[in-house]
Amino acid sequence: MAYLRRQILTAALTANAIRPIPGLRAGIPSFFAGWMTNELAPHLLALTAADTVTHLGPKRRSKAGLALAAASAVGLGHLIRTAGKVKDGVEEALTEGIGVDYVERLDAAPSPAELATNWRSLVNPFKIVTPDIEVLRNIAYTDAGRRGQLDIYRAKDQDLTDAPVLLQVHGGGWTIGDKREQGLPLMTHLAAKGWICVAINYRLAPRNPFPAHIIDVKKAIAWIRENIAAYGGDPDYLAITGGSAGGHLAALAALTPDVKEFQPGFEDADTSVSVAIPHYGVYDFAGATGLKSMILMRDRFLAPRILQKRWKDDPEAFEAASPILQIRPDAPDFFVLHGTNDTLVPVEQARLFVARLREVADNSVVYAELPFAQHAYDIFKSVRAGHVVKAIDRYLHWHWNGYRQGLDVSEVDADVIIDNAEAEAN
């Protein structure tokens, strides 16, 4: 009976990962169950196989349990194959967004071995920071105590001068989260390649209602501009990334470099960024997209917990907090990523955000939609996270090399994209 119960649980987890339960309330438990199952599908498949082998004795055999184990194995195999196909999906997104010849601007085209999944590294997916990376902990960038501190990730044995800089903003629904918990696969990967990566804490609701969060992100940008050269970074080149609430804050910071309301006391500081890479972000605080999910989030969560005011009393505050309503022609380059199975922030919001970016912004917009991916797919090492990290690596080095060569990213590759479209039409 114990084996049968375990297989019922595994089958339920697998089914939820493939087809999660939607809805504002059901979406939260559906996320937690589906996220871990999806990203740890190889491990769960191995455990299911081992459990089944030990159960195959003639006196203990449960036909129902074996049937469920077989069904789970098929489902988990499907999840693993789908995660593996992300490699092709993100490459298609890059070529569509910045041109098929973008690799010519890389230091070297990636080899098949470099693009392949490193299965050995996935044995312990939570072992992320490697000995060749040093982490400088708890550097104060504001006077907010622990919530005003940042960590710097950089390579130990490299000559770092004017290195590109990445700012990582953690998620957690604007109410929880810590700089040590998120973005680690990407930061350690880039740090090993000579980047300076900065992960920040920021003040959280409900103690500190919005806009405290975005003010702190902008304070961090200003701190980087003034201080990162001492750590080997280029203060003039800054990429920003984050997931969920961090994706919202990264996008909003990228789109509001001169909004004085978000820079009280440091209005004249340069808080612009060169490029933004938001993951599964929230782009609509105001319900402007008309999506029912966002109106419910606005009224049931954002209003009482984060902004601590009602929409009808101050709609301008919700609109100012909505990246989709702050898009303008001079927006920086964007690489937006979102999973189709996201039950916390439905993918339709990302689609509308990207459509608006492409309509208004002059710079490049890359969009990768990840099949079957749940929220938080990039927190630890997995098949999917590995392909996403490598795609961001290619994108950022394409962007960084263009910056170093003094190229206009949008104009150079817009011609390439137009030529490709005309060639396909003919």
Q: Which residues are catalytic?
A: 244, 342, 375
- Please choose, from the candidates 333, 321, 339, the residue with its C-alpha nearest in 3D space to the C-alpha of residue 379: 339
Q: Using an 8 Å Cβ cutoff, are 149 and 138 in contact?
A: yes
Strand blocks (E) in 184-305: 196-200, 233-243, 275-279
Determine the Cα–Cα distance for residues 104 and 412; give it in Å rounded to an integer.
13
Q: How many CB atoms lie within 10 A of CB 141?
A: 21
- Residues ≥6 apart with Cβ < 8 Å to 330: 361, 362, 363
Determine the Cα–Cα distance for residues 93 and 87; give it in Å rounded to an integer.
10
Strand blocks (E) in 82-211: 133-140, 149-155, 163-169, 196-200
The pairing of beta strand 275-279 with beta strand 149-155? unpaired
- How open is the CA angle 97-99-105, to the nearest 5 degrees? 115
- Over the range 48-86, which residues count as b (16 or more CB within 10 Å of their CB) and which as e? beebbeebeeeeeebeebbebbeebbebbeebbebbebb
DSSP secondary structure letter of residue 332? P
Q: Using an 8 Å Cβ cutoff, are 343 and 392 in contact?
A: no
**3-state DSSP call for residue 57?**
coil
Determine the Cα–Cα distance for residues 41 and 48; give it in Å rounded to an integer.
10
What is the distance, to the nearest Å, from the Cα of residue 131 to the centroid of all Cα atoms in its chain? 24
The one-letter code for the residue type at 324 is: I
Determine the Cα–Cα distance for residues 34 and 266; give it in Å rounded to an integer.
42
